[in-house]
């Protein structure tokens, strides 16, 4: 028992050290013109910062809702799980460590189902990103200069529509996952864990999608506020559409945490270069958004990870 606790402590310390090391690496290697911050509109910046807890509160409520048939979790505990998950995600490709990190606040017997609930919540967020991104791409088709060749544009849009339809079908027919697991001869123990997914009603899944959409709106507003904070006066419709396309592209790019900010900044420049030549400000807005939504919660999550023992 003592060795088990020691292993958990060392494991958590390694995650925290990696997370802080990554944040330090970003600030050390990122070429930031600090003089640009002298001209930042503080009102827009503060509003963007204040939306950060709203963003993660929505995600916490969504996770709490998905857990309701697995384990009754208070909103405070759900928030703690989300924060710890963000910290754990820093140490893994595409932040998949969040699925495990969140379950530190759950009973041991419920952790596999807790991870599945997290994946379901992520699937709903990806669906909203696909739908919003596809519609946005159509809106700004005339302005952007990539993936818009008239020859293959219909195929690209068709591929997105097919992917979106498949994910929607899967989202509203979760029992298919269990059948697929049986067909693949997966261990019966894990098949049994999948059983709870089929208990979600259409109305419940639709509510989860609504929460994901609401959170997506918060993300988009934060992004716009930071663009305004840095003095980028791009028409609102184009800004929102460009942001939706950025998130859509990022969904399809595999990346490690050490390259995450670079990927976000590069994609932002790729899209916004069609609307402004002040690309250094675009990159800074993307970087500050990452700082607000990822770096700050990582610091909070690391403290919670080390000060709160996992519940059995």
Residue 165 clears pLDDT 60, i.e. is over it = yes
Q: Which two tokens stand for residue 254?
A: 């595999």
Average pLDDT of 239-259? 82
253 assigned to some structural domain: yes
Half-sphere exposure of 148 (CA within 13 A, CB side): 15
266 assigned to some structural domain: yes
pLDDT in tens, 61-71: 999 999 988 88
211 assigned to some structural domain: yes
36 CB-near residues (< 8 Å, 6+ apart): 230, 280, 281, 284
310 assigned to some structural domain: no
Residue span of the structural domain in which 255 resides: 39-73+105-297
pLDDT in tens, 4-62: 555 555 555 666 566 556 555 555 555 556 566 667 889 999 999 999 999 999 999 99
What's the pLDDT at 176? 74
What's the pLDDT at 311? 44
Q: Please, which pLDDT band fits residue 192 given cuts at 50, 70 and 90?
A: low
Mean of per-residue pLDDT scores for the chain: 80
First-to-last CA distance in the chain? Answer: 13
Instruction: Tally Cβ neighbours within 10 Å of residue 307.
Output: 7
265 assigned to some structural domain: yes
274 assigned to some structural domain: yes
Query: How many domains, the chain?
Result: 1
- Token pair 């992917």: residue: 163
Written as one string, the DSSP assignment of 221-240 is HHHHHHHHHTT----HHHHH
92 assigned to some structural domain: no
């Amino acid at each position: 028992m003592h060795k088990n606790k020691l292993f958990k402590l060392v494991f958590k310390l390694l995650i925290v050290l990696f997370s802080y090391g990554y944040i330090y690496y970003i600030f050390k290697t990122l070429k930031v013109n600090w003089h640009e911050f002298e001209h930042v509109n503080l009102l827009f910046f503060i509003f963007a910062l204040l939306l950060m807890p709203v963003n993660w509160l929505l995600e916490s409520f969504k996770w709490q809702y998905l857990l309701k048939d697995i384990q009754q979790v208070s909103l405070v505990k759900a928030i703690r799980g989300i924060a710890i998950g963000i910290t754990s995600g820093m140490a893994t490709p595409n932040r998949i460590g969040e699925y495990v990190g969140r379950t530190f606040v759950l009973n041991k017997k419920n952790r596999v189902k807790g991870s599945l609930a997290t994946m379901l919540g992520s699937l709903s967020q990806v669906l909203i990103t696909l739908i919003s991104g596809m519609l946005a791409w159509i809106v700004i088709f005339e302005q952007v200069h990539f993936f818009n060749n008239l020859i293959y544009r219909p195929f690209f849009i068709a591929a997105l529509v097919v992917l979106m339809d498949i994910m929607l079908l899967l989202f509203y027919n979760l029992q298919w996952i269990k059948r697929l697991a049986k067909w693949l001869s997966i261990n019966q123990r894990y098949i049994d864990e999948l059983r709870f997914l089929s208990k979600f009603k259409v109305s419940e899944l639709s509510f989860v999608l609504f929460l994901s959409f609401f959170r997506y709106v918060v993300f988009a507003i934060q992004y716009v506020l930071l663009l305004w904070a840095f003095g980028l006066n791009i028409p609102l419709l184009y800004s929102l559409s460009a942001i939706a396309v950025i998130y859509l592209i990022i969904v399809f790019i595999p990346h490690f945490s050490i390259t995450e900010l670079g990927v976000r900044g590069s994609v932002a420049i790729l899209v916004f270069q069609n609307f402004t030549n002040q690309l250094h400000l675009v990159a800074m807005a993307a970087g500050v958004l990452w700082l607000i939504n990822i770096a700050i919660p990582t610091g909070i999550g690391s403290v919670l990870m080390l000060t709160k023992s996992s519940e059995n």
